[in-house]
Structure 1
Amino acid sequence: MSGESVVNEPLPIRRLQESLINRIAAGEIIHRPASALKELLENCLDAGATSIRVTVKDGGLKLLQIQDNGCGIRRGDLPILAERFTTSKLSSFSDLSRITTYGFRGEALASISHVAHLSVVTKTKTESCAWKAHYLDGNLVAPKPGQTPDPKPCAGNDGTTIIIEDLFYNTPTRLSALRSASEEYSRILDVITKYAVHNPKVAFSCKKAGSPSPDLSTPSTSETAQAIRLLYGHSIAKDLLHTTLGSKKQDEDEDMEGDEMESRDDSQWTAEAHFTNANYQSKKMIFLLFINHRLVESSRMKRALEAVYSGVLPKGASPFIYLSLQINPRDVDVNVHPTKKEVHFLNEDGITDQIADGLQRQLASQSHSRVFEYQTLLTGGIAEPEQSTSKKRKGKERAQDEEAENEVVVVEPKSTQPMAPPKKTASQYKVRTSLQDRTLESMFPVVNPTQIAESAKGAPSTPDTSKSRDIKESECILTSVTRLRQSAIKGKHKQLSEILEKHTFVGIVDLDKCLSLIQHSTKLYLVNHAALAEELFYQLGLRQFGNFSRLKLQPPPPIRTLIEIAIEFEDTTEESGLTKPQIVDHIVDLLMTRREMLAEYFSFNLTSGGLIESLPLLLRDYTPNLDKLPSLLMRLGPQVDWTSEMECFETFLRELAYFYVPGPLCSAETDPEADEDKAQQEKAERWQIQHIVFPSLRRYLAAPKTLLDRDVVQIASLPDLYKVFERC
């Protein structure tokens, strides 16, 4: 054999035979006798049947016969009855968005004809006799050799009888994979039972071939609760509760432009549920779910309802739940599974949560002498010590362990107003925060932070108080200031302001980039605290206009020297056409000629000799970085519109707010002393941001919508994270 490697030649691609294609497709629809029965039961119900009789032999493998008294099938439709994709329910693709019937793809009978011997007897009310037809591989076949395949007239009642014989006779692998005949029969009974509960006005019966009496039989005049009692027994029926639920119409919000912060549900739906109370328990949960009258499965909804009973039933015990959900057909996608056992619909999580809440409320109000455990403390909190209680259960609470997070309440049997425990919150909606918990910043303590800042900046000392005083709005008769205040209130974004009012500070992410983390409810936001602080200080300036406290400077620095320092580092001569000394003279003259106005309105006091005695104090206990003072004085010249009253006040307060924004100036110094001084400044700044700026944001900021563009970004949501882990 040569040492050359053998190259595998690609195999040719061939077109599968039509019979093989259909047999593969049939395997997707018909898994076992029970799945074939489900498809045919749905056809019977679509035909308007009020009586359905099922006969089974050898678990449905030898014989599965379904007889109904529906509208029947017309003689002219029989030749294409078992062909693929023949249906009376659809005419165009758009009809899928409005479908309300069961069988709409025309695959059930076609699939059955490819894996079994299929025969149909049918009669409509207008015809004088019934017609019988035999099918194989989707086509009409002769019942006996020598006969024609055309349907034959015969005796029969109004309606249709489907006869399936020798199921999976030509797919031995599928046949060998099935369980015993008795287990397949039990699956058939389970399918009929579920449809009988959901359709109490239809009479169902099921029996084995040759048996004189049916194993399952229901009348056609029962109610849902009666059908449950008849089919599932008295033990379930005596502990059965009933409730109806529906969507809640939400009011339109004028601030819904910011819907990126919150989602809302406008879908209309109704639900009817029959479920057991706290006195019933079984080893396995019985869950019947019908969505738009279609028997489906939903692991998401099943887990949510199991969670409702987790605090009611003992560990390992399960309830009985029948749930019928009605949704607008346009909101439901029924074409997502070959057997249609799964559907997708809009706002599945929100509807599921509302249904679970409704069942929980009903359970709480109807329970008798049951001990309920429910969470009363936010996760991560510290429970308050309980007083000792009696061991008697009647009318008293059980003693609570010091480390437990659940409270136990006994509901009296004969209480006229039963005490309902609070609504149980699903894990993904628990707000996991506590004001008693440590934050990230608490792990980096700062000793006397205000004094550190003052010693580093040469600022006067201010009293260290744990709580800032209330900042009252000053009285002002100026129309321009009134308009500016109204504009700030009018621009308030409701949802963003609520987030900031009720947020929990998590920590500073990057001090240089001014990024911090806050939590609101179950969501985590990354915010630019500099942008938030700038808007806060601007609004605080408007709030205190004409009545500012003073931040005194000792000794008072000369205004000309400070402006010269700022101009020295600015390249403005080319743009303005003036030399640096001329620019300094212009700004100094501009401020000196308006020093009376600055002192009266802003407490910005300049002496006749050009010294700065005081600056306006916008927020008590907060000291701005005075290294920015030269830049502030320089910007007051070109950046403030001194020609118009309202524009002058607005631009001046904007520049003042920019001066107050936390954040040190960039420094090129690299000596150890400078590094140590910078570290102290950063510690003081961190403390001020957490303990002064963010609490003030809660109290005073009317957050404008512009902050949503880039300064407030949601980066995590607990319910969304749970969805990710559920898929893992």
Structure 2
Amino acid sequence: MIAPQAPQVAAEPKPIRRLNENLINKIAAGEIILRPASALKELIENCLDAGATSIRVTVKDGGLKLLQIQDNGCGIRKSDLPILAERFTTSKLSTFSDLKKIATYGFRGEALASISHVAHLSVITKVKGDTCAWKAAFSDGVLVDPKTLDKAEPKACAGNDGTTITIEDLFYNTPTRLSALRSTSEEYSRILDVITKYAIHNPKVAFVCKKSGTSAPDLSTPSSSEIPATIRLLYGHSIAKELIHHELSSALPKNVESESMDEYEDSRDEDPSSWNAELYFTNANYQAKKMVFLLFINHRLVDSPRMKKALEAVYTNILPKGASPFVYLSLQIDPRAVDVNVHPTKREVHFLNEEAITERVADAMQQNLVQQNHSRTFEYQVVASSSGGDPKKIYSQHKVRTSMTDRTLDSMFPVVNQANQVAQSSAAASRAEQTTPTTTLEKAREVHESQCFLTSVVSLRARVVKGKHRQLSEILEKNTFVGIVDIHRCLSLIQHSTKLYLVNHDALAEELFYQLGLRQFGDISRIKLDPPPSLRELLEIAVEAENTESSALDKGQIVDRIATLLVSRRDMLVDYFSLTISADGHVESIPLLLRGYTPNLDNLPGFLMRLGPQVDWTSEAECFDTFLRELAYFYIPTPPVSEDPENEKYKAERWQIEHILFPAIRRYLLPAKSLLDRDVVQIANLPDLYKVFERC
């Protein structure tokens, strides 16, 4: 990645100018209207604020050519139309104190203004009791004639009670934003997703969405239904039949059932920290590849990655690996405890006692899931033999190792017991202090994918997923560790089904740690080095061991160049990779890719030295890729020098490979086909061996 050049200092300060009003409005529009779905979200919220019980959406080309939304709400007065699309015009606020108790969706008065700056906007509206409807078109926040774009007045027209807003040619004047959007089909899917979520939360409102020119809607919900019925209609019977419904509140003790909630309602009136929650979540019978999480806070659709992770963690020991639940959560919090004005699109809110509320909700879900899981009954049938008598016998050659406590190779040799090995491993890990957030998930060595919107990182992650080999993935995900064959040649044995495989655990580890670094990019934990060693001294140790005769630089110059390079990029290294280098050149921390696994710090000098010549610093994607490859190489197990099985380092390394590395490989590695060429080799098949024995 190319480091930015330092800006040239002007001889004289440049004058500060007020931005052009049109430019200000376009900047604001870019914050509010990100894509058609975000414009639709704003408009749906306006419809609901207007008391609509029917909302119809018509879409063309994913909302880019046409996005029309019609409601039967209270409508807009003709006298208000001239300022309808101006910024900061709203009926929801009058004083700052109103913001502290806002209970509506919109309040800033920026949605229609923003849309008018990046699209052609027209409105048809009728207030109940008026003799006719009024039509108005807007451009850059001003009421205009749609053909001449000259200033104009609203025109009388026919229309029903309510409002119809039409957006045409979205982003016609911002081609960069337009080209950055995905396909029209994907944009339409996002629109359907927004409508689906609001339809579930507002079952008393009828929603319809269809493409322009078609008669049959792609989404249609009736009014006066209930949340479970709407979930069944929009997400399917498989989810609806496995739903658990639960309610809880701040006034309701943990040990009181939700049916008793009415007894506690009176105590909540004057407490600004009061809250209540309504939950619909799936039980252990439902499994999906991706979690569906609908979160509404005071009826506002919002995102909360932390809350999502916490609720998903409830299912860790209930669902199989890779399976995810469906969760709908509606939180009602006193408006005085909620700050809605923290995000341009109102996608996020801040509220008091967030951690405590999340914990209460997670505990309630866990209690319900455990109770239902204990009460589950299973039907089974006995497979009879062909004669119709006793159950079919499973012969020894077809039996599969299923328990991790089964005998391994180590049990066949006179080595110390596992308890001592654990102690030795802990002693080895104490060479450095591991500093990570003290959450339950990390204690269980969970590795979650960080949120990253850098195109280069997204592309690298996609490449890993695309390169996953299905058959090899199944072997590694369901393998049982048999034992280390040769720690110096990095060879181990694993079993899958009735087959035995010889694997190069260093090759698997290198790919694993590369993927773990990519998975946690920008949010990697740290190993703190105390006291922090000198970067230059570490580089000198590594360079001294290298043969530099072919280089035009002497060893001192090589050290200087690498040290200068790393110090100049220390901000990027700490932000993206948690490699902390102080301004005076001391290494304060290194990345921690897997909790409980400590790399051999004897290899730290070599790792830092290779960051100079081996990392491509001229291209962002290549920089991230080559850095993570070097980090992964630093992390692979290092064969101990001693071959004495009683040596402490020898025992600690073997324990770390078996009890930390291989479980992580089973859980996180997406192996590429290239590993099959020489790093994973089948050496035996149990049924075939029995045939050999039968001939002897």
The answer to whether the 8 A contact 1:19-1:137 is kept is: yes
The whole-number CA distance in structure 2 between the counterparts of 1:344 and 1:296 is 10
The whole-number CA distance in structure 2 between the counterparts of 1:175 and 1:399 is 55
The whole-number CA distance in structure 1 between the counterparts of 2:359 and 2:36 is 35
1:285-322 superposed Cα distances (whole Å, 9 cap, x missing partner): 00000000000011111111011001100111100000
Alignment of 1:339-378 (within 5 A): 339-367=345-373
From 326, 330, 336, the equivalent of 2:342 is 336
1:1-34 superposed Cα distances (whole Å, 9 cap, x missing partner): xxxx996544333221110110000000000000
The whole-number CA distance in structure 1 between the counterparts of 2:442 and 2:246 is 24
Distance verdict in 2 for CA 1:152–1:273, change over 3 Å = same
The whole-number CA distance in structure 1 between the counterparts of 2:161 and 2:319 is 49
1:96-131 superposed Cα distances (whole Å, 9 cap, x missing partner): 111000010000000000100100000010201000
1:313 aligns with 2:336: no
* 3-state DSSP of counterpart to 1:100: coil
Determine the structure 2 residue equivalent to 1:92. Answer: 95
Determine the structure 1 residue equivalent to 2:182. Answer: 179
From 225, 228, 233, the equivalent of 1:230 is 233
Determine the structure 1 residue equivalent to 2:66. Answer: 63
The answer to whether the 8 A contact 2:119-2:167 is kept is: yes
Alignment of 1:513-524 (within 5 A): none
1:44-92 superposed Cα distances (whole Å, 9 cap, x missing partner): 0000000000000000000000000000000100000000000000010
Determine the structure 2 residue equivalent to 1:427. Answer: 440
* 3-state DSSP of counterpart to 1:205: strand
Determine the structure 2 residue equivalent to 1:324. Answer: 330
* 3-state DSSP of counterpart to 2:287: coil
The higher relative CO (CA closer than 8 Å, separation ≥ 6) is in 2
Distance verdict in 2 for CA 1:22–1:428, change over 3 Å = same
The whole-number CA distance in structure 2 between the counterparts of 1:146 and 1:173 is 24
From 63, 77, 83, the equivalent of 1:80 is 83
Determine the structure 2 residue equivalent to 1:198. Answer: 201
* 3-state DSSP of counterpart to 2:166: strand
From 104, 125, 128, the equivalent of 2:128 is 125
Residue ranges of structure 2 left out of the alignment (5+ in a row): 1-7, 255-270, 378-401, 407-417, 420-437, 445-696
Determine the structure 2 residue equivalent to 1:41. Answer: 44
The answer to whether the 8 A contact 1:57-1:63 is kept is: yes
Distance verdict in 2 for CA 1:153–1:282, change over 3 Å = same
The answer to whether the 8 A contact 2:73-2:161 is kept is: yes
The whole-number CA distance in structure 2 between the counterparts of 1:7 and 1:167 is 40
The whole-number CA distance in structure 1 between the counterparts of 2:284 and 2:174 is 47
The whole-number CA distance in structure 1 between the counterparts of 2:252 and 2:327 is 26
Distance verdict in 2 for CA 1:250–1:318, change over 3 Å = closer
The whole-number CA distance in structure 2 between the counterparts of 1:126 and 1:323 is 39
The answer to whether the 8 A contact 1:278-1:370 is kept is: no
Question: How far apart are residue 212 of structure 1 and its match?
Answer: 1.0
The whole-number CA distance in structure 1 between the counterparts of 2:149 and 2:217 is 38
Alignment of 1:236-247 (within 5 A): 236-247=239-250
Determine the structure 2 residue equivalent to 1:288. Answer: 294
Distance verdict in 2 for CA 1:140–1:318, change over 3 Å = same
* 3-state DSSP of counterpart to 2:293: strand
The whole-number CA distance in structure 2 between the counterparts of 1:399 and 1:248 is 46
The answer to whether the 8 A contact 1:61-1:168 is kept is: yes
* 3-state DSSP of counterpart to 1:367: helix
Distance verdict in 2 for CA 1:430–1:146, change over 3 Å = closer
- Amino acid aligned to 1:323: L
Question: How far apart are residue 399 of structure 1 and its match?
Answer: 9.1
The whole-number CA distance in structure 1 between the counterparts of 2:358 and 2:204 is 28
The whole-number CA distance in structure 2 between the counterparts of 1:12 and 1:132 is 44
Question: How far apart are residue 158 of structure 1 and its match?
Answer: 0.2
* 3-state DSSP of counterpart to 2:56: strand
From 263, 269, 273, the equivalent of 2:275 is 269
Question: How far apart are residue 248 of structure 1 and its match?
Answer: 3.5
Question: How far apart are residue 144 of structure 1 and its match?
Answer: 2.8
The whole-number CA distance in structure 1 between the counterparts of 2:303 and 2:132 is 41
Distance verdict in 2 for CA 1:82–1:146, change over 3 Å = closer
Question: How far apart are residue 429 of structure 1 and its match?
Answer: 12
Larger gyration radius, structure 1 or structure 2: 1
Alignment of 1:507-656 (within 5 A): none
The whole-number CA distance in structure 2 between the counterparts of 1:310 and 1:370 is 18
The answer to whether the 8 A contact 2:142-2:151 is kept is: no
The whole-number CA distance in structure 1 between the counterparts of 2:163 and 2:323 is 43
The whole-number CA distance in structure 2 between the counterparts of 1:143 and 1:118 is 9
1:528-564 superposed Cα distances (whole Å, 9 cap, x missing partner): xxxxxxxxxxxxxxxxxxxxxxxxxxxxxxxxxxxxx
The whole-number CA distance in structure 1 between the counterparts of 2:345 and 2:140 is 19
1:662-685 superposed Cα distances (whole Å, 9 cap, x missing partner): xxxxxxxxxxxxxxxxxxxxxxxx
CA RMSD of aligned residues (A): 2.8
- Identical amino acids, percent of aligned pairs: 74
1:416-454 superposed Cα distances (whole Å, 9 cap, x missing partner): xxxxxxxxx9618999xxxxxxxxxxxxxxxxxxxxxxx
Question: How far apart are residue 173 of structure 1 and its match?
Answer: 0.7
The answer to whether the 8 A contact 1:250-1:266 is kept is: no
Determine the structure 1 residue equivalent to 2:220. Answer: 217
1:115 aligns with 2:118: yes
1:545-602 superposed Cα distances (whole Å, 9 cap, x missing partner): xxxxxxxxxxxxxxxxxxxxxxxxxxxxxxxxxxxxxxxxxxxxxxxxxxxxxxxxxx
| TM-score, structure 1 normalization | 0.48
* Length, aligned pairs only: 369
- Amino acid aligned to 1:216: L
Question: How far apart are residue 368 of structure 1 and its match?
Answer: 5.9
Distance verdict in 2 for CA 1:60–1:156, change over 3 Å = same
Determine the structure 2 residue equivalent to 1:472. Answer: none
1:338-378 superposed Cα distances (whole Å, 9 cap, x missing partner): 0000000001000000000001111111226779xxxxxxx
Distance verdict in 2 for CA 1:167–1:6, change over 3 Å = closer
